[in-house]
Amino acid sequence: MVSQTPESQRATPGRNTYTTLAAGPDFRHELSIKRSRFITVLRRVENESAARDLVAELRREFHDARHHCSAFVIGAERGVQRSNDDGEPSGTAGMPMLEALLKRQTRPGGTPAGAAADLSDVCAVVVRYFGGILLGAGGLVRAYSESVSSAVSKAPLVRRERLSLFQIALPHAEAGRLENELRSAGYTMTGNEYHAVATHVGLAMPDDAAVIASATARLASLTAGRYILAAAGTQWVDTSVSPHR
């Protein structure tokens, strides 16, 4: 596949949230344009190998189709971007498909001001059965772009968020009280580990410096500075996406 990475579409470094497909089976959508069938298949993928697997599977399933064009974007910062015209005139299939993925607008929080193009970890394959009517270069660009855009607009999407994980080592007698106070303050509790001399209370929060600083200050206030947040790594989780996407 040929790399297609439009400079204007590169994501902001350090992104800790983005949009992707909900976990589950492939999403399929079909359009008929001037007798040609355009079957779009979307799959959530985490690496190039998984994206290429989808292309190979669809070549076997739709072995009699003339074209199996593809595009995919991978990573929180969308650093991996590829497309393939698969025999269509250069630039009329894969690139328009990739642009449709890259330009897809989502709305964190459901507000227009928060709109962002941040779709990632998605592979799109458009299988074309030629209907006998030539579409021309412009027609092909519109057809492949519309096929992917239409499929994405109907596919189930989720927000992907990177959380920072922490533990607080507390005397057993104080662990329950502090855990309840943190939960009441809106923090996500991830479970406790019980050791001989202490309970390690686990919690998670957005991987954001301001949020972490606020949590550190709150813990200091609740415990008179006796206990600290100990970093325990990060974890990506799926959360719901606004229906006004």
| Interval 135-178: pLDDT, tens | 999 999 999 999 999 999 999 999 999 999 999 999 999 999 99
CATH of 160-240, one of 3.30.930.10, 3.40.1410.10, 3.30.70.240, 3.30.499.10: 3.30.70.240
In Å, what is the CA distance from 236 to each residue of 21, 83, 90, 161, 204?
14, 26, 37, 5, 11
Phi, psi angles (nearest 5°) of residue 16: -115, 5
**Position 72 confidence tier, pLDDT thresholds 50, 70, 90:** very high
Please give the model's pTM, rounded to 2 decimal places. Answer: 0.80
| pLDDT on residue 15 | 78
pLDDT at residue 105, rounded to an integer? 83
Name the helix (H) or strand (E) containing 51: helix 48-61
CA distance 63 to 65: 6
Domain boundaries along the sequence of the chain:
2-155, 160-240
Shared fold status for 2-155 and 160-240: no
The pLDDT, as a whole number, for residue 13 is: 40
Question: What is the pLDDT at residue 114?
Answer: 57
Which class is 2-155 in CATH? alpha beta
With b for 16 or more beta-carbon neighbours within 10 A and e for fewer, the 13-31 pattern comes to eebebbbbbeeeeebebee
